[in-house]
Amino acid sequence: MNEEMMTAQERLGDVVLESVKPQNAHSMMNEGIFENSQMHDAHAQLPSSPVYYVHTLGCQMNAHDSERIAGVLEDEGYIKATQEQIDAHDVDLIVLNTCAVRENATSRMYGTLGQYAQLKRERPHMQIAVGGCMAQKDRKRITEKAPWVDAVFGTKNIGSLTTLLKEAQKTQHSQVEVATELSQFPSELPTVRSSQVSAWVSISVGCNNTCTFCIVPAVRGKERDRRPGDVLAEIESCVSRGIKEVTLLGQNVNSYGYSTGDRYAFSKLLRACGQIEGLERVRFTSPHPAAFTDDVIDAMAQTPNVMPQLHMPLQSGSDKILRAMRRSYRIEKFMAILDNVRAAMPHAQITTDIIVGFPGETEEDFQATMDAVRRARFTSAFIFEYSPRPGTPAATMEQVPSEVAHDRFERLHALQEEISTQIMAEQRGKNVEIMITEAKGFKDNKTQRVSGRDQGGNLVHVSVPQGYEKPRVGDFVTCTVTDTAAHYLICDPRPEQGDVYDVRH
């Protein structure tokens, strides 16, 4: 799952302070906006119950980390900002949780910090903290480029945030703490869940792979697995509080247990989830094709609450490029996995990630990717133009011209949109079960629809027939698909004409 797949309530910190005129960090320094007395006002004291806002950039792993950040803050007496307070910029602390995977995420971080600088000038008592993967990667560079930042904390230092903020207020200097070794699983920290009914549960942190394009091992560290008992205890705790769906998180979830020599640990974990009473749905992301084995497919197919959904990164359809990426599988192995998944679960929804314009990619290599997409028939794909990340091997390779990479992106995107539209259209007339995650959809005032996800993870917008019960968040609705688009389904059922509409609490 990527951030583009999330509905509004599934995101954390998805509101940008749009009314602040964007400025970059460099221009702020040149204009002399911040003198030391303005950066850290010794006389500006935080209230006894300061209000915080967490703005999250990046993937669901970052969003889950933001839940831990919120938990740590609220454990120290902070109060989460309301939407009205965010819109009015009436907050005492802004935490920017950053991503380092793509260059645009880096640009977004520094652009956003430029916006926050103007806010801090207007509200000297406000504190600003930067965490996440860019904090781990850039460390002191952030405070050099954006001296109005009070605290920088790494991916392994979430628990230190409030201490850093207090020290920054006391010393009137930016504080930086970025550990290279994990001393405490983030899952041991307090948590404020972003959803009433869905929860992310980390089963591991870090990554042992050495993909030449990826910065993740450098910012997240080596893979460390949580004990199965701890994972299951967290899930049971979630269910006891009303959670009905969990998504197991890891950089490579299906290598879970390899460090202890148990190559069946992940499939065992899936089956154990099936024994938890009240847990309706289980998903996971993301598996690595090299470690995807038949026992995982069997566990998915044989465990009723494990959903028929698979997000598995392809990255390229060319074996030559896969070797250059240092991806330890080849295209035929990948396709065999898809065949086995569909044989066991014919209605499985399969999505992927693909990079175009990787160094050395020729038109022939790109056509191999196009052919792979035609064969695979993914429900959707997250397609990225290759973005060189400093410190990775691929950044030193001969680069594909940006205009060539963009042209390939456009062609592959058009192909995938066509396939996605076809696959979604096949759902028309079928009955699907949706777990409602939003009581108010994007155009709800006009359509009176509610929104959720079906078992395959597809976004579904549902209208309530006149005179029928309106479902609440967490309810399950079985209804007939009446229309489709490339990335969502629509259910406008008419029971009087034979369509199905049934609500289960």
Find out whether 491 is annotated in a ligand binding site: no
The answer to whether the CB of 398 falls within 8 A of the CB of 357 is no
Would you call the peptide bond into 451 cis, given omega within 30 degrees of 0 as the criterion?
Answer: no
30: exposed, middle or buried (C-beta count within 10 Å: 0-12, 13-18, 19+)?
A: exposed
φ and ψ of 198, to 5 deg: -120, 145
Helical H segments across 253-395, by residue range? 265-273, 294-302, 319-325, 331-344, 363-376
Written as one letter, the residue type at 212 is T
The answer to whether the CB of 161 falls within 8 A of the CB of 186 is no
CA distance 247 to 459: 16
At a CB cut-off of 8 Å and minimum separation 6, what does 229 contact?
none
Find out whether 238 is annotated in a ligand binding site: no
CA distance 121 to 107: 22
CA distance 286 to 120: 38
- What pairing do the DSSP bridges indicate for beta strands 79-80 and 51-56? parallel
| Total Cβ atoms within 10 A of residue 73 | 23
Helix (H, G, I), strand (E, B) or coil at 433: strand
What does the block give as tokens for 336? Answer: 């065999």
Find out whether 214 is annotated in a ligand binding site: yes
The answer to whether the CB of 179 falls within 8 A of the CB of 221 is no
Residues at the annotated binding site for [4Fe-4S] cluster?
59, 99, 133, 207, 211, 214
Residues at the annotated binding site?
59, 99, 133, 207, 211, 214
